[in-house]
Amino acid sequence: MMSNEDSWRPRLAARARLKFDAIANQEMILFPEAALALNETGAAIVRLCDGARSINEIVDQLSEKYGDADRDALMREVMDFLATIRARGLLR
């Protein structure tokens, strides 16, 4: 699963789904027995994880959205973030 990051097209695991929480006014990932609250950037990344886009494409979309961002720094942030939620079994 970790072998080839270039061809990885992440999407949420079958057991996880994204929910907009109107009370806290933020997105959260729901999964068995728990919920993970996301900030705006985190939510933007997860929304792009549709199983069709590669990580490169996700970063392209985000850098377009955030304009002035340093692409290498953004790439590192996205990779770190995805690794964190993948370690919890929430991405495939």
Partner 1 sequence: MIAAPRPYTLVAELTYRCPLRCVYCSNPVDFHRSRDELATEEWRRVFSQAAELGVVQLHLSGGEPVLRGDLVELIQHARACDLYTNLITGGTLLDEEKLLRFRAAGLDHIQLSIQGAARESAEMVAGVRSYRKKLDTARLISKLGFPFTLNVVIHRLNIAEVPELIRTALELGAQRLELANTQFYAWAAENRSALMPTREQYDRAEGIAREAIAKYRGTLEIVFVQNDYLSGEPKPCMGGWGRSYMCINPTGEVMPCHAASVIPGMRFETVRDGALEKIWRDSPAMNAFRGDDWMLEPCRSCARKEIDFGGCRCQAFMLAGNAAAADPICRLSPHHGVVESMRKNSSADDELIYRDVKTSRHLSRRPSIPS
The contact set with partner 1 (CB under 8 A) reads 1, 13-15, 17, 19, 21, 23, 28, 30-35, 86-87, 89
Q: How far is the CB of 34 from partner 1 (least distance, A)?
A: 8
Q: How far is the CB of 83 from partner 1 (least distance, A)?
A: 11
Whole-number Å distance between alpha carbons of 10 and 19: 18
Name the residue type at position 43: A
CA-based nearest residue to 54, from 6, 4, 87: 6
Is the CB of 35 or the CB of 73 nearer to partner 1?
A: 35
Is the CB of 19 or the CB of 76 nearer to partner 1?
A: 19
Could you list the beta-strand ranges (E) of the chain.
17-21, 26-31, 34-37
